Structure 1
Amino acid sequence: MLRDWNFWCTVMTSVAAVIAICVSVHQIRLSNKQQLFDRRLKAYMMANSIISLCKENYVFLSEKRKAEPQFANDVVFIWLTNNTYMEGQAEAIEHPLEQPFHKDFLQKREELRNMAMEFELIFKGNVTSLYSNFLRDYESVLAVMYQYQIIIKKMEEENGKHPNTSEVLSKMFSEEEYRDRLYDALGKLKASYDAVSQEKNDKQLRKQLTLI
């Protein structure tokens, strides 16, 4: 009788242990799904906010090339960073290479690159590359605009010391070369935006925003 009781105690203990393991595994799976959902939602909302910025300022992305210095570069930069996520970057373009604005700008660019990489890790399907490329192109545009603003600032400082025509100042600082890079980067961002902003791509990504 005692043996039977010990046997059933052992069985019940084993069953309880198995149930506990199953519950633990289930909870871990739910936790992992929740974490993945949170990461996807955060990435989607951030990307969507930048997509909205490009939509609102599409005219700057599709602007035709001009054979003259773009002294309004800083204004365009401010419009392209005019949301809560990119808050504070306006000071970077107004004070190029100055601290702490320069460091903050570098950190924000790194965040964008990391988010582009994370998109490829947490989402599935061909639509993923559209979003990651869009984020990389957006980060690249900001970098090129920042570099161009440094040239513009040098031209303005030189003109303050020794007034001259914009043509002479442009050649002095190789401004045209940086301007071409600017237009190239804007054109690439426009193409990325045109692809990622299609409704079908947004729907594909939203389908993955689920805990199931």
Structure 2
Amino acid sequence: MELCAHSRFRLEKKEDGPELTNDYLFLLMTNNSLLCDIGPVIEHISDQDWKKRFLLKLDELKEMAFEAELVFRGSSAKALGAFFTDYASLLMSIYQYQIMLNCLKEDCRSFLHSLEEAATTVGEKEQRAVLHEAEDKLLNSYDELSFHVAARIKGQCGSSWLS
């Protein structure tokens, strides 16, 4: 949750053109002890070993979402499960967008296209919309989870100091 909170400004910022700092966002979102071992995958997009590690970590996040709904009850469980699922979806969207960015850069080099021409050729705008949707979905899950966590703490403490 902390990474989401610290990266909120970056997640809310939407570019009108290609998100050329996509790799930086991936590094921000994998900068913790659970995800740090997959951070370098963004620099090794075509390496199958890195890809396998990445996909296994996404499966682990999805398992955590499932387990959260088994261990906890009610709307808090659903909020936690949705957060893990949406986090995994965002990481996959960032990864897929980086693949497209690499193709865009190659198109610029190989065919001497402008950034705008290459973006049109590789479908950058559509892929960016998918990325932005994943960012928004994670932020919504984060807000929902934060609400449930605060409500639960407030209920356990019996005070209104969190209001």
Question: Is TM-score (shorter-chain normalized) higher than 0.5?
Answer: yes
In structure 1, what is the equivalent of residue 11 of structure 2?
Answer: 61
Alpha-carbon spacing, 1:174–1:76, altered in 2? closer, same or farther (3 Å) = same
TM-superposed CA distance for 1:76, in Å, is 0.7
Identical-residue share of aligned pairs (%): 32
What's 1:203 paired with? 153
Instruction: Choose the corresponding residue for 1:109, options 44, 53, 58.
Output: 58
CA distance in 1, matches of 2:151, 2:68: 14
1:53: Cα distance to partner?
0.7
Asked if 1:193 is matched to 2:142, the reply is: yes
Runs of at least 5 residues in structure 1 that lack an aligned partner in the other structure: 1-50, 208-212
Q: Give the SS at the match of 2:74.
A: coil
**Residues 106 and 90 of structure 1: is their aligned pair in 2 closer, same or farther, counting only changes over 3 Å?**
same
Cα 1:123–1:179 shift into 2, 3 Å: same
**Structure 1 Cα separation of the partners of residues 103 and 5 of structure 2:** 31
What 5-or-longer segments of structure 2 have no aligned partner?
158-163
Q: TM-score, normalised by structure 2?
A: 0.89
The structure-2 alpha-carbon separation of the partners of 1:185 and 1:131, relative to structure 1 and needing over 3 Å to count, comes to same
TM-score for the superposition, normalised by structure 1: 0.69
Q: 1:136: Cα distance to partner?
A: 0.6
Q: How does 1:79-158 map to 2 (within 5 A)?
A: 79-158=28-107
Pair 1:155–1:141, CA change in 2 (3 A): same
Aligned mates of 1:99, 1:204 — CA distance in 2: 47
CA RMSD of aligned residues (A): 1.9
**Closer, same or farther in 2 for the Cα pair 1:141/1:205, shift >3 Å?**
farther
Aligned residues: 156
Sort the Cα spacing of 1:90 and 1:124 in 2 relative to 1 into closer, same or farther, 3 A: same
Q: Which has the larger radius of gyration?
A: 1
